Every structure is written in structure tokens, then in C-alpha cells.
Amino acid sequence: MLDYYFPAALVPEIISGRKNRVVTALPASGLPPPVGSRVHLYSGSGKKDRVLIAQGRICAVRPVLLWGDLMAVDGRDLSATEAQAFALAEGYVSFEQLKAWCQQRHALPFSGYLAQWEAHPIPIQSPLF
């Protein structure tokens, strides 16, 4: 089972099913999760403020590479317009903001994966303590 954490601003998008994917770094094993893996989607980051907002199953996993001003998804180089659209779909204001986030948390070049879960996760409104 995988846990993904999101800022409160993205909760309505996740509950509605409009946000049904995440880009993240590879785990220590170096292997992305297999299709069919269960996911729990949380708002908040610490134990005291995290809330389980939805559950789902991974339905697609694609490698993501980001270096300099270039980005590739599933082995295909994205144009500047496609990279901008990708960043917007991830909840960033721009491709530059996505790059800055990757640089701050993981360093560039960034190698990770795009995990997509079933389009309409079941909303759960229960805080965890």
C-alpha cells in the first residue's frame, strides 16, 4: 500500500477525480509501484494534521525524467508547451515551479515516476489520530 500526501488546496480536485495522478521520486528499492497497488491519499503532512481523503488503485505508472529545461514522460521528450501543461495538471502554477520543487526536494536531474490511480477514488472523511 502506498501513501501520498497533498496540500489542502488540491483536496477538491482529488475528491472530484480531476486530480488522479502524482509525480514522485523512486523509492529506495529503485522500483516504481506495480499497477494494481492500493493507494491512500492524504491531506496534511504530519501525523496530527493528516486526513485520509480518498483511496484507489494504481492503474498506470510511467517513468518521468527532468533535467534542465527538458522533461520526458514514458520515454518521450515533452515540448515546452507539453511540459507546461503537465505541470499545470500536477497542480503547479508553471513548469518552472515544478522544476523548483524537484530541485529543492530531490535535486536535478530528477528521475521518478508518474502514478495514476483510478479516476474516481472513494472519498473518505475521517481524520486520523
Q: Give me the pLDDT at residue 34, please.
A: 95
The single residue listed with the C-alpha cell 483511496 is 55
Q: For residues 97 and 66, is the Cβ–Cβ distance under 8 A?
A: no
Q: pLDDT band for position 125 (50/70/90)?
A: low
Q: Give me the pLDDT at residue 120, please.
A: 53
Which residues are paired to 127 by β-bridges?
51
Give mean pLDDT, residues 11-37: 90
Which residues are paired to 43 by β-bridges?
6, 51
Give mean pLDDT, residues 42-63: 88
Distance CA 30, CA 40 (A): 21
Q: For residues 38 and 45, is the Cβ–Cβ distance under 8 A?
A: no
Residue spans per domain, the chain: 2-127
Tell me: pLDDT of 95 over 90.
Answer: yes
CATH superfamily of 2-127: Hypothetical protein. (2.30.130.30)
Q: Give me the pLDDT at residue 8, please.
A: 87
Higher pLDDT, 129 or 123: 123
